[in-house]
């Protein structure tokens, strides 16, 4: 029975632990000094509740309320755009375009150069004629390139996500191809030639 510590008789010889010192009434002293130094009447319950509600729901001017509504709308719109952009078929489209180089991404600089050349060749009918033919050839090559990319993307989408739909994504592909890679939104996450 002595081995069982639960039923062992209480040993009076062991010295009892000293009782912990009671904490000083610091809070009571601080409260008494706070009440002693207060130079205003204690607010009623209704006033205290009104002050708490004002802190939780501050009164805003029309301009502040409009700015707050705009910020909330922008945040909601950003969340919706991110949800759309994170769809797997759109992520695949961006990676498919960003990993390849095409003539279409140079179309904006080409157009600027062509516009500058029209000023130079304004008085030369032959130069204008040649420039027009070159621009039409470039436009035709861009259309063929876009069609080729769209065909390849649809085959890739069918292989990776058979249930995904490509409806409405052709214009997204064309506009992303036309943009210079540094201007594309969302930003490219892979480099040209990388696997995705």
Picking from 107, 81, 70, the residue whose alpha carbon sits closest to that of residue 183 is 107
What local confidence, expressed as pLDDT, does residue 157 receive? 93
Model confidence at 32: pLDDT above 80: no
Picking from 96, 104, 103, 106, the residue whose alpha carbon sits closest to that of residue 193 is 96
Long-range contacts of 131-139 (CB under 8 A, 24+ apart): 138/103, 138/107, 138/110
Q: How many CA atoms lie within 13 A of 128 on its CB side?
A: 8
What 3-state class would DSSP assign to 58?
coil
pTM over 0.75: no
Picking from 91, 107, 99, the residue whose alpha carbon sits closest to that of residue 149 is 99
Domain boundaries, the chain: 82-183
Task: Give Cβ neighbours of residue 172 (< 8 Å, ≥ 6 apart).
Answer: 90, 93
For residue 157, count other CB atoms closer than 10 A to its CB.
Answer: 19
Task: Give Cβ neighbours of residue 77 (< 8 Å, ≥ 6 apart).
Answer: none
Lowest mean pLDDT among 25-39, 83-97, 146-160, 171-185: 25-39
Picking from 196, 7, 14, the residue whose alpha carbon sits closest to that of residue 100 is 196
What local confidence, expressed as pLDDT, does residue 185 receive? 87
Which pLDDT tens digit goes with each residue over 86-126? 899 999 999 999 999 999 999 989 989 988 888 887 777 78
Please tell me the total number of residues recorded for the chain in this structure.
196
For residue 95, count other CB atoms closer than 10 A to its CB.
Answer: 17
Model confidence at 29: pLDDT above 60: no
Picking from 138, 137, 120, 139, the residue whose alpha carbon sits closest to that of residue 128 is 120
Please, are residues 181 and 104 in contact by the beta-carbon 8 Å criterion?
no
What local confidence, expressed as pLDDT, does residue 130 receive? 86
Residue with token string 């009164």: 59
- What are 76's two structure tokens? 């909601």
Model confidence at 8: pLDDT above 80: no
């Amino acid at each position: 029975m002595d081995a069982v510590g639960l039923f062992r008789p209480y040993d009076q010889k062991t010295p009892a632990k000293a009782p912990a010192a009671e904490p000083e009434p610091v809070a009571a002293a601080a409260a008494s000094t706070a009440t002693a130094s207060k130079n205003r009447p204690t607010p009623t319950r209704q006033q205290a509740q009104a002050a708490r509600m004002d802190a939780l729901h501050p009164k805003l001017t029309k301009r502040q309320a409009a700015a707050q509504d705009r910020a909330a709308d922008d945040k909601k719109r950003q969340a919706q755009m991110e949800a759309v952009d994170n769809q797997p078929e759109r992520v695949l489209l961006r990676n498919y375009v960003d990993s390849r180089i095409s003539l279409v991404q140079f179309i904006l600089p080409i157009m600027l150069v062509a516009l500058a050349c029209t000023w130079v060749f304004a008085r030369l009918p032959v130069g204008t004629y040649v420039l027009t033919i070159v621009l039409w050839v470039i436009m035709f090559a861009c259309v063929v390139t876009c069609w080729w990319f769209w065909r390849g993307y649809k085959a890739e989408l069918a292989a990776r996500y058979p249930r995904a739909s490509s409806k409405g994504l052709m214009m997204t592909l064309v506009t992303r191809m036309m943009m210079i890679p540094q201007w594309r939104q969302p930003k490219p996450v892979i480099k040209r030639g990388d696997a995705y």
